[in-house]
């Protein structure tokens, strides 16, 4: 878990640096490093939870709830964006302006703080400790995923996940561009347009949360 804590700490300056970026190159760089850290952190957390619960039923239940609750972060981000675009003009200047996207990136520090405070006090995986004490703990190898026994499963699962993320993230990225182009939205003020985008994002996240809860409960039944 030490490496995960390090990644979490490294993501904090990445978020702030992206908010203060002066050109597209540095913005893309810092956003990519942040996204890599977040993804690694999520995978590490899921693996840790799986090892904490040896009973298959309990493990599937915990992982199902974890996946279902992952969309709560999207709701928090959407709500924060709505608040930021509403009060951006009253916030301190960032690089001489009041651009909502800069404040939005800086707000990413808020959920990282409790994570950094809580992680050092969480227990290590009993399975990990047992292997370490027995001297059988070894660094995982990506090549193991492509051995003949599991190669087909690895490839099919990777393609399916890639398609799922491409569809969902593709929609998320296009919404802020599509909504302002609607005729009824074009007549609004800039703040009202951004609030409308935030509302649409919030409703979209609610849909994602509802869609995650159903498969999250399936393993329980």
Q: DSSP secondary structure string, 99-134?
A: -HHHHHHHTTHHHHHHHHHHGGGSPPPHHHHHHHHH
State the CB neighbour count (10 A cutoff) for residue 173.
Answer: 9
What is the residue whose two structure tokens read 């059988």?
136
197: closest CA among 174, 180, 182, 184?
180
Beta bridge partners of residue 97, listed in sequence order:
94
pLDDT tens for residues 10-46? 456 667 888 888 888 999 998 888 888 877 888 888 8
How far, rounded to the nearest angstrom, does the alpha carbon of residue 120 sit from its chain's CA centroid? 21
Position 1 pLDDT exceeds 70: no
Contact at 8 Å (CB) between 45 and 165? no
22: closest CA among 113, 111, 102?
102
Position 114 pLDDT exceeds 60: yes
Beta-carbon-side half-sphere exposure of residue 40 (alpha carbons within 13 Å): 17
Measured torsion, CA atoms of residues 39, 52, 118, 61, in degrees rounded to the nearest 10: 70
Q: Which two tokens stand for residue 127?
A: 């399975």
pLDDT tens for residues 46-83? 888 888 888 888 888 888 788 777 778 778 888 898 99
Contact at 8 Å (CB) between 48 and 1? yes
Longest Cα pair distance anywhere in the chain, in angstroms?
Answer: 68
Report how far residue 145's alpha carbon sits from residue 159's, in angstroms, rounded to the nearest whole number.
Answer: 14
> What is the structure's pLDDT at 173?
77
pLDDT tens for residues 187-208? 999 889 989 988 888 888 787 7
Pick from 40-54, 64-78, 93-107, 132-146 the range whose average pLDDT is largest. Answer: 93-107
Report how far residue 191's alpha carbon sits from residue 194's, in angstroms, rounded to the nearest whole number.
Answer: 5
CA-to-CA dists, residue 212 to 63, 206, 217, angstroms: 12, 10, 9
Contact at 8 Å (CB) between 27 and 33? no
């Amino acid at each position: 878990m030490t490496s995960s804590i390090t990644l979490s700490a490294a993501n904090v300056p990445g978020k702030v640096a992206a908010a203060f970026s002066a050109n597209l190159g540095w913005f893309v760089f810092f956003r990519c490093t942040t996204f890599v850290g977040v993804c690694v952190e999520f995978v590490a957390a899921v693996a840790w939870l799986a090892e904490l619960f040896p009973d298959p039923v309990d493990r599937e239940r915990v992982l199902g709830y974890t996946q279902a609750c992952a969309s709560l972060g999207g709701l928090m981000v959407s709500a924060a964006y709505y608040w930021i675009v509403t009060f951006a003009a009253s916030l301190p200047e960032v690089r001489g302006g009041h651009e909502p996207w800069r404040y939005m990136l800086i707000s990413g520090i808020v959920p990282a703080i409790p994570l950094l405070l809580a992680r050092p006090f969480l227990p290590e995986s009993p399975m990990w400790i047992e292997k370490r004490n027995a001297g059988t703990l070894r660094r995982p190898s990506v090549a193991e995923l492509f051995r003949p026994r599991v190669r087909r499963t690895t490839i099919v699962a990777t393609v399916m996940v890639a398609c799922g993320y491409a569809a969902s993230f593709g929609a998320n990225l296009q919404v802020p561009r599509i909504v302002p182009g609607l005729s009824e939205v074009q007549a609004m003020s800039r703040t009202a347009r951004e609030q409308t985008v935030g509302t649409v994002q919030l409703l979209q996240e609610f849909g994602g949360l509802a869609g995650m809860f159903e498969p999250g409960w399936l393993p329980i039944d």
